[in-house]
């Protein structure tokens, strides 16, 4: 059985993987769904210093303190930045990387570099609260921004989404063990709508390797299509 660490994206928390985690655990896998500092149930820990390095340290800490090895490290959206950095910090603990409709950065890139137009739009509604510039502020139907349309699910999300510190998005990734990092197998589970905007060489290589999974749903595919996501993750594990 495999060990999964599922890392959420901007404004979310470990809660967003609830259904996927249930399916994976039901199949006998070990699953961790940490929440990054300053978000979700850890929103009370928000402070002006929270940035990408903070979140990389969060996941590095989970890998080390839970003494995990051969981990399938999964990152959604902004979580692609985080898992890349965490795998670079502890490549001996990671067996595979899975980018879940996620950013796929290289050394020196920030999320602003990777997804400039989207991040510029997000910053239009930025607000400074207690010295922290925050974006992705939740509102009644914020889940629709992530491709969710079911009214019950939208209500569930509205109670859980939290604003995200902007510093996380503008800080560049600082990789230190690139040879080991890029030697790790990578898989990509993406929404059909985002395929045209992705690096065609990366997509072609992943397809050729049998490590590309396309799901026709919105950006929060772990919420809208948990069974399809879990099935794809189990295929990654079996490979």
Rounded to whole angstroms, the Cα distance separating 82 from 34 reads: 12
Give the count of alpha carbons within 13 A of 102, CB side only: 30
Q: Annotated catalytic, 197?
A: no
Catalytic residue selected from 19, 77, 192, 193: 77
Residues labelled catalytic: 77
């Amino acid at each position: 059985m495999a060990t999964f660490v599922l890392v959420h994206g901007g404004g979310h928390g470990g809660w967003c993987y609830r259904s996927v985690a249930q399916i994976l655990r039901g199949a006998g896998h070990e699953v961790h769904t940490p929440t990054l500092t300053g978000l979700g149930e850890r929103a009370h820990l928000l402070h002006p210093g929270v940035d990408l390095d903070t979140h990389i340290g969060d996941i590095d800490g989970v890998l080390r303190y839970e003494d995990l090895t051969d981990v399938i490290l999964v990152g959604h959206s902004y979580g692609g930045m985080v898992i890349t950095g965490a795998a670079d910090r502890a490549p001996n603990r990671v067996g595979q990387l899975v980018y879940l409709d996620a950013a796929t950065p290289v050394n020196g890139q920030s999320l602003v570099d990777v997804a400039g137009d989207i991040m510029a739009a997000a910053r239009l509604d930025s607000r400074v609260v207690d010295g922290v510039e925050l974006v992705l502020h939740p509102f009644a139907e914020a889940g629709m921004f992530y491709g969710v349309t079911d009214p019950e699910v939208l209500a569930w999300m509205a109670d859980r989404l939290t604003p995200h510190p902007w510093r996380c998005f503008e800080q560049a990734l600082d990789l230190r063990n690139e040879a080991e990092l890029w030697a790790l197998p990578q898989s990509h589970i993406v929404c059909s709508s985002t395929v045209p905007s992705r690096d065609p060489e990366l997509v072609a290589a992943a397809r050729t390797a049998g490590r590309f999974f396309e799901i026709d749903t919105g950006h929060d595919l772990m919420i809208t299509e948990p069974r399809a996501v879990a099935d794809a993750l189990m295929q990654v594990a079996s490979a």
